[in-house]
A and B are shown apart, each in its own frame.
Chain A
Amino acid sequence: MILLGELALWIALPVGIWGAVAGFVGGRKERGDLVLSGEHCVYAVFFLLVLTSAGIITAFVTDNFEYWYVANYSNRELPLFYKVAGLWAGQRGSLVFWVLLLSFFSAAAVFTNRTKNREFMPYVVGVLLTISSFFLVVLLFADVNPFERLPFAPADGRGLNPQLQNYWMTIHPPTLYLGFTAFTIPFAFAMSALLSGKLDTRWILITRRWILLSWFFLANGIIFGMRWAYEMLGWGGFWFWDPVENASLLPWLAATAFLHSIQIQENRGMLKVWNMGLVTLTFLLTIFATFLTRSGLIESVHTFAENTKIAFIFLAFMGVMAGCSALLIAWRYPQLKSENQIQSFLSRESAFLFNNLILLGAAFSILWGTLFPLITEGLTGTAIAVGPPFFNRVNLPIGLALMALMGIGPVIAWRRASRRNLVKNFRMPVIVGLMVVAALFLRGVHHGMALLTFGLSAFVMTIIIVEFVKGTKARARIEGEGHLLALYHLVSRNRRRWGGYIVHVGVVMIFTAFAGVAFNRELIQTVDPGDTITIGSPFGHEYTLTYQGLSSPRGKNMVRQAVALMTVERNGRPIESLTAEKVLYVKWESSPLTIVGINSYILEDLYLILENVNDLGGAFENEAGAQRATFKVQVNVLVGWIWYGGFVVTLGGIIAMWPSRGSTRTAPRTKTGGKRPALAARS
């Protein structure tokens, strides 16, 4: 199976290249046989990459340490769960996984368009297989072949990085990769529209769900990553502005801008060049994110790179793709002129345009901050690090402006809104926002930015609720429906709009949670068994943690484990106990991993970190005299709202993506392909 997988990788490359050529030539010469051959190549590449992935997983599961990749990312004791996830644990496997997902989405796009949107498909096939072929070339010729053999097979492997030995390892990277790769489909359709000259809104209508799907996976991938960091990295936060975290945020920001700007093109026939530029930018940022994670160019907690040679290959590819896209846009520029102009500053298209500029401003600032150390190192020889203070300072006002626009957008009409109506529609939400600010201020909340965030959250939430109430009432009145049924029909008749509003609710919840950080409390204390740590909550109550001592059980693939137990009381009443751990994993004995303890409540988390053990060696041996330990206890305010907000974003995303009854072709169709037409008929 392993050898078959290796061979499949080699076969996939010529098949991919042939398919790309067949797609482009077939489209240009209107050769249906070549186009069909190209489409078959898409399916074949997917099949071959399934074999390749199966080969790699088989090598992991059977502990075949003859392979460099397995020897470096696994060991005999590693649980099966993580052996399977070994496919995306390192640079080599990740690249295979990337192109596997791309080939899956490519096959899905070709299959779902086998009888429709045929004018676009030849070039779509060409673009998709060109991108797949690039990754296959990298895998086979850039010293990152996952099937590379060692001169001898070691008895055991080096093991998996302990930070990856967490269940989020099986969820977070695949979700993010699904988001990255799914966005290739809208990009391919956009390029096909440019190549074929079919530049009306159809390419957007065709790819709308793909854009939403990609956005949905990116959003969830980012939130899963935050949860992973919060549970695993042991520093008490959920976002560190790490280069790879930033890299995942960049395509999400661009995709969010694109999701809004395509509505302007759909509704007003405007921003056609902008949208072409934005779809290209988003695609390039997905490649950039992959490149940053896998190239090793920038140090990060999760840059799983071992070969920096591919950094230059990736850069060259991104340059070529950007250049080709720019040339195509320039070539078709006369056909991409706007059909309309913005009629009023007070219009939804104007608000969407602001939203685009703000989102791209955020993306640019994050990109700049991420690349700054690299640029300074290149220019001066010394890397100047850009830390969280820079990102927070720049992105805080940007986030607040975005929140304000989330409220303004739904209330403002397309084309033209009158000041009188705006005042009327904004009066109540503004009053609610101000009341929330006043109430919080009177309760002792005096943090300016947090107050502003809470006020804006209340403003946006009120607007969204009022929109739902107005729409439901209007529908109930006119259709004579009950309010619940009217609400159901309201949402189901225009899922994208109302699903989008639900996403906004989730985003507001997440932003509110970010503001909660301003009220976090933290305490570091060294204790012996029987000692207590007391920490107050900003909500007025008090937690008392009593240290019970360290135990040293041994889990699978662990060398040693020191588990500290704390019993917890809230205002004197016992609640759920907490454990915090230091763990040494097999093959990673020199770097103990910290596992935190979390008690989650609606408004706050009680968060426990085992910072230090006086005599860790003794603790691992269960020695009675080695129990003194230093703990960091945190009360993290509103942090749970990130995850609740994530659920709401997911719900809204599913509603927006859910196919309407009319969108699924249920009628029998006549197949109009067939045999090669007579030459005369073709000419």
Chain B
Amino acid sequence: MGLIVGVILVSAGVILFVMMPVLRGDWAVMGRSDDEVTEVDARKQTALRGLRDAEYDFRSGKLDQADYELLKSDLARQALEAMEEESAAGHLIDEGAPPEAAAKPAESTTSEAEGDRLEAEIARVRKGMAEGRTCSACGHLNVKKSLFCTGCGGRLGEVPTEARDAVSG
């Protein structure tokens, strides 16, 4: 008798648990939430990581100056393209960017302008680091006074700058 009751309870419980969303119309989250990494974010992070690795490889004597410059400009171009896309999508947080960077036209195409733009982005990231806004884990720049990174959810302001990571590899 106890066995029959147990079997009925388990069966009914499982069926109810499994069918509940359909019966009640409970809806699972289907799309990407706002604070998740986008494809563009991923590309930007990859390029920034590439810059970090290239810098480490250069400093540890694995790359020549000329190759390093070549790689840096290639990676900078990729990072900038991702940033342009991000900017167009309204994802770029302009708060805190140095005025000279903000003044640069977004459609600058010369390598000099790209270099300036990258320097500005790096300066912006470093400034964010100094203010504890840039997440050292994922590089996401958060709004002022954030306690947690909206890119990865990590607590902000606990670790040293990205520049340190660039050296530490």
Contacts and interface: CB of A to CB of B under 8 A. Distances in A.
Contacts of B7: 3-4, 7
Interface centre among A119, A269, A414 (most CB of B within 10 A): A414
Contacts of B63: 413, 416-418, 421
A231 interface: no
A570 interface: no
A7 B63 CA distance: 64
A35 B50 CA distance: 37
Contacts of A666: 148, 153-155
Interface residues of B, number: 64
B76 to A, nearest CB: 14
A425 B10 contact: no
A673 interface: yes
Contacts of B158: 661
Interface stretch (B15-23, B96-104, B109-117, B120-128): B15-23
Interface string B139-154: 0000000011110111
Interface stretch (A97-105, A197-205, A520-528, A629-637): A197-205
A39 interface: yes
B154 A414 contact: no
Contacts of A414: 50, 53-54, 57, 71
A418 B64 contact: yes
Nearest to A660: B137
Nearest to A415: B71
Contacts of A494: 165, 168-169
Nearest to B150: A667
B33 A478 contact: no
Contacts of A36: 21, 26-28
A621 interface: no
B92 interface: no
B31 A470 contact: no
A493 interface: yes
B142 to A, nearest CB: 10
B6 A662 contact: no
A412 interface: yes
A665 B62 contact: no
B14 interface: yes
Q: Report whether over half of chain A's contact residues are helix, strand or loop; otherwise say mixed.
A: helix
Contact of A662 (B18, B50, B152): B152
A30 B154 CA distance: 31
Contacts of A201: 42, 46
Interface in A648-683: 660-667, 669, 671-677
A669 B150 CA distance: 10
A329 interface: no
Contacts of B138: 662
B30 interface: yes
Interface string A417-453: 1101100110000000000000000000000000000
B91 interface: no
Nearest to B138: A662
Interface stretch (A41-49, A181-189, A380-388, A395-403): A41-49
Interface string B53-83: 1101101111110010011001000000000
Given A33-B21, A205-B37, A479-B164, A676 B27 contact: yes
B28 A33 contact: yes
A366 interface: no
A559 B87 CA distance: 78
A578 B39 CA distance: 62
A40 B18 contact: yes
A479 B137 CA distance: 18
A490 B137 contact: no
A508 interface: no
A43 B36 CA distance: 25
A267 interface: yes
B29 interface: yes
Given A15-B14, A418-B67, A202 B60 contact: no
B27 A490 contact: no
B160 A479 contact: yes
A18 B35 CA distance: 32
A418 to B, nearest CB: 5
Contacts of A671: 29
B18 A18 contact: yes
Interface centre among B36, B135, B150, B167 (most CB of A within 10 A): B167
Closest 5 CB pairs of A and B: A662-B137, A665-B153, A662-B154, A667-B148, A676-B25
Given A416-B70, A667-B148, 5 more contacts: A115-B29, A202-B39, A418-B67, A489-B160, A493-B164
Interface of A: 3-4, 7-8, 11, 15, 18-19, 26, 30, 32-37, 39-41, 43-44, 47-48, 51, 115-119, 121-122, 198, 200-202, 205, 266-267, 269, 411-418, 420-421, 424-425, 467, 470-471, 474-475, 478-479, 486, 489-490, 493-494, 497-498, 660-667, 669, 671-677
